[in-house]
Amino acid sequence: MAPHRTISRRRLLGASLGGAGSALLGLSGCGTGSGSISAGTDHLTIWYWNGSLSDKLLATSARGVPGVPGLKVKGAPIAGDYRGRLRTVMAARAYVPDLACLNSPIGDYFPDENEFLDLRDLGADAVENEYLAWKWKSCVSPSGRMIGFPLDAGPTALYYRRDLFEAAGLPTEPADVAEATSTWEKYLDVGKTLKAKAPGHPYLISQIAYVFRMALYQSPKQFVDADNHFIGDQEHVKRAWDLAVETYRQGLSARVLDGTPDFNSALGGGRIASMNTAVWYINGLKDTAPKTAGKWRLTSMPGGPGNYGGSYVGITRYCRDPEGAFAFLKWLLGPANQLKSYQEMALFPTTPAAYDQPAMRRPDPFFGGQIPVDVFGPAAEKAPVIFFSAYENTANTPVYQELTNVETLGKNPDKAWRDAMDASRTALAQRGVS
Amino acid sequence: MAAVAQTSSAADVTEPVRARAPRGRLRRHLPSYAAISPYYLLFAVFGAFPVGFSLYLSFQDWDGIGDMKFVGFRQYYWLLHDSVFWHALLNTFEIWFLSTVPMLLLALVLAFLLHSQTRFSAAWRVAYFIPNVTSMVAMTIVFGSVFAQAGLANSLFKAVGADGVGWLTSALGIKSAIAIMIIWRWVGYNALIFLAGLQAIPTELFEAARVDGANSRQLLFRVVVPQLRPVILFAVITSTINGLQIFTEPQVLFYSDDPGTAGGPGQEGMTIVLYLWQKSFNDLQFGYGAAMGWLLFAVIALFAIINWRLVSGSGRDDRPGIPLGKETGRGR
């Protein structure tokens, strides 16, 4: 009895160790093939985060991409830290998807542009004229490599509360409001009237960072240029800063940070009379302040159109079938399917031909029956071409932090500006940008 | 090489008597080594290797994908000149102090109460321990609404006629809010540790004190606290280790897509580990993050030495400490 038990225990140990060992070997064995997660299967794999691609279109392509015989592409929704996971598999050079959605700013990937295939080599130029020119240009790295394909756009608009504007005796219809707020200075004047006359003395905006961000996005130049020089201390940034500080000085900001309970209650309770943000915030607004339905309107943003956010799809260098992957992209992100994605997922098309289609021209009761694309379409077509460097976040983080300090802690704005510039320069110097 | 020899000799069952003694020993010990090996294998892959790699990484400039560039001690140089790092270090210690001191006092009182509680004692203990096993992310979201400008905490203040506090908009408010979350989570845990220590105190001591006419306060400070000294030191050391790694609370409390909100207004809620995470995984400066991790290690090592000195110092005092207590008792 006793010897028998010893042997069986040892066998058990041996079997479990052997099992673990062969599992490890098996894992690494898979990875060494081509680095692609779809190696050994009959389909290509595209990674996306929930809401970034149409589930219906992906269901179609999993059965077979229409017009491309034998090609199947399956979508893999990645939950949690999407960028972190994508970068992890790229660092490991194993289990990399054939295609991957890339969120803006795409400049994050420019230093590692060779991880992605140049879409121009695959014939992207042939469809260039179907897409928004600024979006197309933003896919191209400083060295001229096109690492992403346009997915959706984030044209911006002025969201405003018609009821509060009316109560303050201000213009109420979109065209008239656009006229009354055509510049940031006129917009701030409107804010003063709102605060003085509308019920509950509402604030013009939720936080001054939005004034800074949107004014800056109206400029083709940002913090770092394509030659890796710091240009964040120049007039285009200072002007946006001054506008934000002026908004604070005049007491027009509710001083609530995005997404906090205070923000939600201020928005739902009518203490914020307008917002400057992108088309993709429509759903966020509907979720946050459902009781304000019918009271909001949209019009063009003070100071001109802009774009905030919007995504891309890249083909990784591990892709098993680059031609097939590009054919899939042309199908998935062509004008017809971008229209479907807008209807299903509210992804704003990067193909202007879709803007005139009846499916996009549905009135939205949340905006009192206004047709949102009437505002966002022209904004998308006229948004400036902007270069976002890989070091943009490093450079602008201190500026956003100092704006919060001015607004929340009452820090002296001039000192805040000097501190922000010092912090930006230091952070960039560390990364070899000056 | 040795491992190979072991495996082959152990597997070879038909081998005759030749090397009986060593083979027998190997045979006897192999299952034991095999049994403990999963831990060491996993530790080597997920524990030891990352530690070694992070040291290597702290001398490199790396964005996580591309080629590493050797930069020598540059990352450490930048770090020592980074005002945010020093600010984060100070914040961490302030939050640690704000949370640990009241927490340990509260835990001691709770343990004392739990000890004297006779009805539903198990239910009370479970109730106090539950915060320790709830998801901190979920709880931070709840606390986010408690500390909002128009939140529960300020409503309470207003109900008693006090002014609202800028919990998430002032330096002291932010640190207090984070400290309160830490206290809420760890006070029950420490109370249970103290309770275990309390139960180990011989009842004769309590009885003797009672006979001598000690009241509850005197019992707590003259009997319980001196007897609990090693347990209290343990609690101080564990809360130091936890306190220097505060991350979840400030991260979730001020999380948004806006890069300017990390750590809250004035970065008053920016702790070292949060800054390390932000630099590594937001700004993709993994070398910088690794260097920060090693500086944090140095700081913790420093504290470990101080703790160790305190412990060994008190150990020497401890033995004469008991008669000293008796003396004081007699003096009274």
pLDDT in tens, chain B (332 residues): 344 444 444 444 444 445 455 667 888 889 888 999 999 999 999 999 999 999 999 999 999 888 899 999 999 999 999 999 999 999 999 999 999 999 999 999 999 888 887 788 888 889 999 999 999 889 998 998 899 888 899 999 989 988 888 888 889 999 999 999 999 999 999 999 999 999 999 989 988 998 999 888 888 888 888 888 888 888 888 888 889 889 999 998 888 777 678 888 889 999 999 999 999 988 889 999 999 999 999 998 888 788 778 766 654 444 443 343 333 433 33
pLDDT of residue A206: 95
Distance from CA of B64 to the nearest CA of A (A): 6
Q: How far is B79 from chain A (nearest CA, A)?
A: 10
Query: Does residue B35 sit at the A interface (CB-CB below 8 Å)?
Result: yes
**B contacts of A261 (beta carbons < 8 Å):** 144-145, 148, 150-151
**A with B: how many residue pairs have Cβ under 8 Å apart?**
97
pLDDT tens-place string over residues A329-386: 999 999 999 999 999 999 999 999 999 999 999 999 999 999 999 999 999 999 999 9
CB contact under 8 A, B260 and A399: yes
Pick the residue from chain A with its C-alpha nearest to B36. A13
Distance from the Cα of A329 to chain B's closest Cα (Å) equals: 25
For residue A15, name the pLDDT band (cuts at 50, 70, 90): low
pLDDT at A160 over 60: yes
Looking at the complex, report in whole angstroms how far the Cα of residue B159 sits from the nearest Cα belonging to chain A.
19
**Chain B residues within 8 A of A397 when measuring between CB atoms:** 259-260, 262, 283
Tens digit of pLDDT for each residue in A111-157?
Answer: 999 999 999 999 999 999 999 999 999 999 999 999 999 999 999 99
- Report CB contact under 8 Å: B288, A258: no
* B48, two tokens: 């030891």
All domains of chain B in start order, with CATH: 78-331 (1.10.3720.10)
CATH code: domain A44-153+310-360 is 3.40.190.10
CA–CA gap between residue A427 and residue A423 (Å, rounded): 6
- Binary contact (B31, A112; C-beta < 8 A): no
CB contact (8 A) between residue B254 and residue A115: no
Angle, CA B208 vertex, CA B204 and CA B210 arms, to 5°: 120
- Supply the pLDDT for residue A34: 77
CA distance A158 to A178: 9
Q: Is the pLDDT at A8 greater than 60, yes or no?
A: no
Which of B30, B65, B254 has its CB closest to that of A91? B65
> The complex's ipTM?
0.84
Asked if B284 is an interface residue toward chain A (Cβ–Cβ < 8 A), one would say: yes
* Other beta carbons less than 10 A from residue B9's beta carbon: 16
Chain B residue numbers touching A259 (CB-CB < 8 A): 255-256
Q: Do A261 and B151 touch (CB under 8 A)?
A: yes
- Identify the closest residue of chain B to A8 by CA–CA distance: B31
Whether the domain at A44-153+310-360 and the domain at A156-308+364-430 fall into the same CATH topology = yes
A332: Cβ contacts below 8 Å, ≥ 6 apart: A53, A57, A61, A313
- Determine the pLDDT at residue B232: 87
The pLDDT of residue B224 is 84
pLDDT band at A4 (very low <50, low <70, confident <90, very high): very low
Pairwise CB contact (< 8 Å): B169 & A408: yes
Under an 8 A CB cutoff, do A262 and B150 touch?
yes
Over pLDDT 90: what percentage of chain A?
Answer: 86
- Does B38 reach chain A within 8 Å, measured CB to CB? yes
CB contact under 8 A, B170 and A409: yes
Mutation test of the interface with chain A: which of B169, B251, B253, choosing the one with the most A Cβ atoms within 10 A? Answer: B169
Q: Which residue in B64, B148, B266 is closest to A405 by CB distance?
A: B266
Best CA proximity match to B175, nearest among B260, B104, B83, B98:
B98
Among A17, A91, A404, the residue with its CB nearest the CB of B64 is A91
Question: Residue B258 and residue A405: Cβ atoms within 8 Å?
Answer: no
Within an 8 Å CB–CB cutoff, is residue B37 touching chain A?
yes
Q: Where are the domains of chain A?
A: 44-153+310-360, 156-308+364-430
pLDDT in tens, A91-116: 999 999 999 999 988 999 999 999 99
| CA distance to partner chain A, nearest, from residue B84 (Å) | 9
Q: Give CA–CA dist B47/B43, Å, rounded.
A: 5
| Chain A contact set for B31 (CB, 8 A) | 9-10, 13
User: B262 and A396 in contact by Cβ < 8 A?
Assistant: no
CB nearest B35 (choices: A13, A91, A257): A13
pLDDT given for residue B8 in this prediction: 43
Work out whether the CA dihedral A283, A289, A295, A298 comes out positive or negative: negative
In this complex, do A13 and B31 lie within 8 Å of one another by their Cβ atoms? yes
pLDDT reported for residue A23: 46
- With beta carbons less than 8 A apart as the criterion, state whether B88 and B268 touch: no
* DSSP state string for A301-354: PTTS--B----EEEEBTT-S-HHHHHHHHHHHTSHHHHHHHHHHH-PPBS-GGG
Q: Which pTM does this prediction carry?
A: 0.84
- Those residues with Cβ within 8 angstroms of residue A76's Cβ, 6 or more apart along the chain or in another chain: A37, A45, A46, A47, A48, A97
Least CB-CB distance to B266: which of A84, A257, A409? A409
Element (H, E) at A298: strand A296-299
Residues 141-200 of B with CB under 8 A from A: 144-145, 148-151, 168-171
Report pLDDT digits (tens) over A181-218.
999 999 999 999 999 999 999 999 999 999 999 999 99
Gap between the Cα atoms of A250 and A242, Å rounded: 12
Q: Does B63 touch chain A (CB under 8 A)?
A: yes
Strand extents, DSSP E, A6-143: 44-48, 73-77, 99-102
Spell out which residues of chain A touch residue B267, defining contact as CB-CB under 8 Å.
401
**Beta-carbon separation of B149 and A426 below 8 A:** no
Nearest chain B residue (CA) to A10: B31
C-alpha to C-alpha distance for A131 and A114, rounded to whole angstroms: 24
pLDDT of residue A2: 41
How many distinct helices (H) and strands (E) make up chain A?
16, 8
Residues in A whose CB is inside 8 Å of some CB of B read: 9-10, 13-14, 17, 20, 81, 84, 87-88, 90-91, 108, 111-112, 115, 209, 255-262, 265, 393-394, 396-397, 399-405, 408-409, 411, 423, 426, 430-431
Inspect the interface and report whether the beta carbons of B63 and A14 lie closer than 8 Å: no
Asked if A20 lies within 8 A of B38 by C-beta distance, the reply is: yes
- Averaged pLDDT of chain A: 91
Distance from CA of A312 to the nearest CA of B (A): 18
Residue of B nearest to A7 (CA): B31
Using an 8 Å CB-CB cutoff, list chain A residues near B257.
258
Residue B1: how many other CB atoms lie within 10 Å = 5
Written out in words, the top-level CATH class of the domain with range A156-308+364-430 is: alpha beta
- Asked if omega into A378 is within 30° of 0 (cis), the reply is no
Look at A262 and B148 and tell me if their CB atoms are within 8 Å.
Answer: yes
Q: Which of B65, B150, B170 sits opposite A265 (nearest CB)?
A: B150
* Residues in chain A closer than 8 A to B36 (CB atoms): none
Query: Shortest CA distance to A151 belongs to which of A71, A79, A226, A51?
Result: A51
> In whole angstroms, what is the distance from residue A351 CA to residue A344 CA?
16
φ/ψ (deg, to 5) at A333: -110, 15
Q: Which residue of B has its CA nearest to A254?
A: B149
